[in-house]
A and B are shown apart, each in its own frame.
Chain A
Amino acid sequence: MNTLSLLRAQARQLDWIGVILALTLTIVIILPLLVVATWAFTEVWRYPSVLPQQFGLRFWHQTLARADVWNALMLSLRLTTTVTLLSALICLPAAYAFARMDFPGRNIFFLSFLASHAFPKFGLLVTIAGIFLQLHLISTFWGVALIQLVGTLMLMIWIPVAAFQNVDRRMEEAARDVGAGPLRVFWSITLPQAAPTIFAAVLLTFVSTFYETEGAWLIGAPQISTMPVLMISFINNQLVVQYGAVLSVMLWVPSFIALMFARRVMSSNAFAKGFGA
């Protein structure tokens, strides 16, 4: 009886905040999503009806029937995975260097990544296009990959730097001591220790690359057409929101699975990390 009441007390205490947060978020986040989801299955929905006047799958048929949707989806996934991996490969060591090493120009270089997010693309288009044309990268997979890669640099460097700085140096020293070279220490100790943050960075990179359209369009058109580029053309100035809604909802399912997976990795790690040290 004692145990039970304790458990209940604990549950009550924890939930107060949790329940409030969960409710607020449910309303704030779910409501717009729900509206989108409903639209995806709606043919007619007019004010002031709470429910659509007419449900239907017409827009699903129309969307899914298009061959380019599936091609674009596969292409996008391939592209995004490539870019994310490449970005991790070149950025994480660089982030480590920024966090832990001293070299000439460090701060300036570090700041320079800001430029990729802070300057509007339109000012750069001509120059970038010029560079890519010369290299015959226009309208090729690797051209798009390259431009998107540049777009991920800031995320993949700025965020991990904070993570690396939080890693306890003594753990790295201990690994050096048992014979691990700097690279191995990075891979086996520093990276896993910084994992929750890095994971967040990778997730953000993946998603933002997936939904990136400007670079993909500028460099990719006409041969390389990614999912969001296709989507934009479905959605922009389109009378019917349903196409966009359908495409969104289509992407939510994999996103949601990825998210649940992410949550596992992140929380368990953060949990373990928070304990000792």
Chain B
Amino acid sequence: AGGPVNVFTGADANIVDFWNNIVAPAFAKAHPGESIKVIDAGDDSGLRAIAERALAALASKTDPHADLFEAFDPKLPAGGIKAGLWVDFKQAKIPLYDHINAMAFQSDYSLPYRGSQVLLAYDSTKLDPKKAPKTWADLTAWIKANPGQFIYNRPDKGGSGGNFVRRAIHEVNGRDPAKFTIDNFTPAYAEKTLTPAWKLLQDLAPSLYDKGAYTSGNTQSIQLLAQGVVTMVPVWSDQILKAIKEGVLPDTTGLVQLTDLALCGDFNRMVIPTNATNKDAAMKLAAFMLTDEMQKAVITEIGGFPAISWDYLPKDLRDKYADVVPKSIPTFPQGDWSPAVNDGWYRNVAPNLARG
């Protein structure tokens, strides 16, 4: 092998640590001679810049200095797929590819390896856990009854707010996640399915914090919760657990999932540039992430959700984590749906400020 596999990630520190402390040694052990270098890109736009660079490198047939993206949407950069920038995993004959949870796939060019879910976190000193809302109806009733005590973040950044928005879309479409697939997007269909959701959310807006303000990310939401400004926010499960562990949030923070239909979760999917210098090693690494060992680590080390269907996971693991990790989480397709949902929200929900 050449140099180490350059793994770019835009994820939080816990994921970086996971890769550095768990994945790297395990991979080196499983594949002697190979190694990993984890490069923290900070956020999505950091990854985005590297992807652009890789595309440019593809055009000029030079070294992109990037071998694997820990989580990235292969639709970016625009034209990347057409140019043949990303490895087609479907064609690549990755071992265990067919064991992957079918819901996790968004594209042939990305490889899901972990998932996480969105929960509602609340301040249990202000809201009795027994009265915590368990259904969408409860939730909206509670929001309206307690104006200013709920906030969710903008759907484009961070995702916890985005999945709250998607849950609203599910709500107005018969709580049926199956109605939305990666391939069934058409503008007309989107118009039909999304518009009622905008109504629903607009209706909620005046009861939100500051009569319809939206934070700019997961972290800001958690901070408002931590500062006692609001009582409840949607959060990523792994993030909230870490926050409580680190003392950002008090132990009195309560967590609840809707039972009628859970808030959407999402999967993280790896991509590999076709022109990567260490492509072979990177492919090995991608395959390695699907192994039992790593999938188990996803659950145990970062409280994540495996990408491999539960059915294919060892039974003991399945049993052990049955209480903590739900059997399944609803997802919402990306692809063309993402811009439609995000921009639709910006144009329809965000501007309707009731603020005087």
Which residue numbers of A lie inside 8 Å of B, CB to CB?
Answer: 43-44, 46-48, 54, 122, 125-127, 129-130, 133-134, 136, 138-139, 214, 217-218, 221-223, 225, 229-230, 232-241, 243
Instruction: Look across to chain B and name the residue whose beta carbon is closest to the beta carbon of A68.
Output: B40
Contact check, B39 vs A46: say whether CB atoms are below 8 A apart.
Answer: no
Instruction: Look across to chain A and name the residue whose beta carbon is closest to the beta carbon of B65.
Output: A139
Within 8 Å by CB of A133, from B46, B62, B239, lies B62
24 CB contacts below 8 A, A to B, read A44-B247, A46-B228, A46-B250, A47-B227, A47-B228, A48-B228, A54-B247, A122-B48, A129-B57, A130-B56, A133-B57, A133-B62, A134-B62, A136-B62, A138-B65, A218-B53, A222-B6, A222-B39, A225-B39, A235-B42, A236-B42, A237-B43, A238-B13, A239-B219
What are the nearest 5 A-B pairs in CB distance? A233-B40, A130-B56, A129-B53, A233-B42, A129-B56
Measured CA separation A138–B56 after assembly (Å)? 11
Which residues of B have CB within 8 Å of A136?
A: 62
Which residues of B have CB within 8 Å of A214?
A: 49
Within 8 Å by CB of B8, from A130, A221, A241, lies A221
Q: Could you list 7 further interchain pairs (A-B, Cβ under 8 angstroms) beyond the known A47-B227, A222-B6?
A: A43-B247, A46-B228, A125-B53, A138-B57, A232-B46, A233-B16, A239-B243
Q: What is the minimal beta-carbon distance from A169 to any residue of chain B, in angstroms?
A: 47
Contact check, B49 vs A133: say whether CB atoms are below 8 A apart.
Answer: no
Which residues of B have CB within 8 Å of A234?
A: 13
Contact check, B247 vs A125: say whether CB atoms are below 8 A apart.
Answer: no
Q: What is the minimal beta-carbon distance from B228 to any residue of chain A, in angstroms?
A: 5
Is B63 an interface residue when CB atoms closer than 8 A count as contact? yes
User: Contacts A237-B43, A238-B13, A240-B248: A133 and B63 contacting too (C-beta < 8 A)?
Assistant: yes
Contact check, A238 vs B52: say whether CB atoms are below 8 A apart.
Answer: no
Measured CA separation A129–B51 after assembly (Å)? 10
Contact check, A221 vs B41: say whether CB atoms are below 8 A apart.
Answer: yes
Interface centre among A218, A225, A241 (most CB of B within 10 A): A218
Instruction: Look across to chain B and name the residue whose beta carbon is closest to the beta carbon of A125.
Output: B52
Contact check, B42 vs A239: say whether CB atoms are below 8 A apart.
Answer: no
- Name the interface residues of B23-66: CB closer than 8 Å to any CB of A: 37, 39-43, 45-46, 48-50, 52-53, 55-57, 59-60, 62-66
Which residue numbers of B lie inside 8 Å of A, CB to CB?
Answer: 6, 8, 12-13, 16, 37, 39-43, 45-46, 48-50, 52-53, 55-57, 59-60, 62-66, 77, 158, 217-219, 222-223, 226-229, 239, 242-243, 246-248, 250
Measured CA separation A136–B63 after assembly (Å)? 8
Instruction: Look across to chain B and name the residue whose beta carbon is closest to the beta carbon of A128.
Output: B56
User: Contacts A125-B52, A129-B52, A222-B65: A217 and B46 contacting too (C-beta < 8 A)?
Assistant: yes
Within 8 Å by CB of A233, from B41, B222, B246, lies B41
Which residues of B have CB within 8 Å of A46?
A: 226-228, 250
Q: What is the minimal beta-carbon distance from B87 to any residue of chain A, in angstroms?
A: 19
Measured CA separation A139–B8 after assembly (Å)? 14
Q: What is the minimal beta-carbon distance from A239 to any residue of chain B, in angstroms?
A: 5
Measured CA separation A130–B64 after assembly (Å)? 10
Q: What is the minimal beta-carbon distance from B23 to any residue of chain A, in angstroms?
A: 16
Contact check, B49 vs A237: say whether CB atoms are below 8 A apart.
Answer: no
Measured CA separation A266–B289 after assembly (Å)? 58
Which residues of B have CB within 8 Å of A236?
A: 42-43
Instruction: Look across to chain A and name the residue whose beta carbon is closest to the beta carbon of B247.
Output: A44
Measured CA separation A229–B218 after assembly (Å)? 21
Measured CA separation A243–B8 after assembly (Å)? 21
Instruction: Look across to chain B and name the residue whose beta carbon is closest to the beta carbon of A241.
Output: B223
Measured CA separation A238–B247 after assembly (Å)? 14
Interface centre among A54, A221, A230 (most CB of B within 10 A): A221
Which residues of B have CB within 8 Å of A129?
A: 52-53, 56-57
Which residues of B have CB within 8 Å of A230?
A: 40
Which residues of B have CB within 8 Å of A125?
A: 49, 52-53
Q: What is the minimal beta-carbon distance from A130 to any residue of chain B, in angstroms?
A: 4
Interface centre among B12, B37, B48, B77 (most CB of A within 10 A): B12
Measured CA separation A222–B276 after assembly (Å)? 13
Measured CA separation A241–B226 after assembly (Å)? 12
Q: What is the minimal beta-carbon distance from B98 to any residue of chain A, in angstroms?
A: 32
Contact check, B53 vs A237: say whether CB atoms are below 8 A apart.
Answer: no
Contact check, A134 vs B60: say whether CB atoms are below 8 A apart.
Answer: yes
Which residues of A have CB within 8 Å of B248?
A: 239-240
Within 8 Å by CB of B39, from A221, A241, A243, lies A221
Measured CA separation A103–B321 after assembly (Å)? 75
User: Contacts A217-B41, A232-B46: A126 and B246 contacting too (C-beta < 8 A)?
Assistant: no
Contact check, A138 vs B63: say whether CB atoms are below 8 A apart.
Answer: yes
Instruction: Look across to chain A and name the residue whose beta carbon is closest to the beta carbon of B61.
Output: A133
Which residues of A have CB within 8 Å of B239?
A: 239
Measured CA separation A239–B6 after assembly (Å)? 25
Measured CA separation A237–B46 after assembly (Å)? 13
Instruction: Look across to chain A and name the residue whose beta carbon is closest to the beta carbon of B240.
Output: A239
Q: What is the minimal beta-carbon distance from B169 to any residue of chain A, in angstroms?
A: 24
Contact check, B57 vs A232: say whether CB atoms are below 8 A apart.
Answer: no
User: Contacts A134-B60, A138-B53: A237 and B158 contacting too (C-beta < 8 A)?
Assistant: yes
Q: What is the minimal beta-carbon distance from B77 to any residue of chain A, in angstroms?
A: 7
Which residues of B have CB within 8 Å of A138?
A: 53, 57, 62-63, 65
Which residues of B have CB within 8 Å of A237?
A: 12, 43, 158, 217-219
Which residues of A have CB within 8 Å of B242?
A: 239
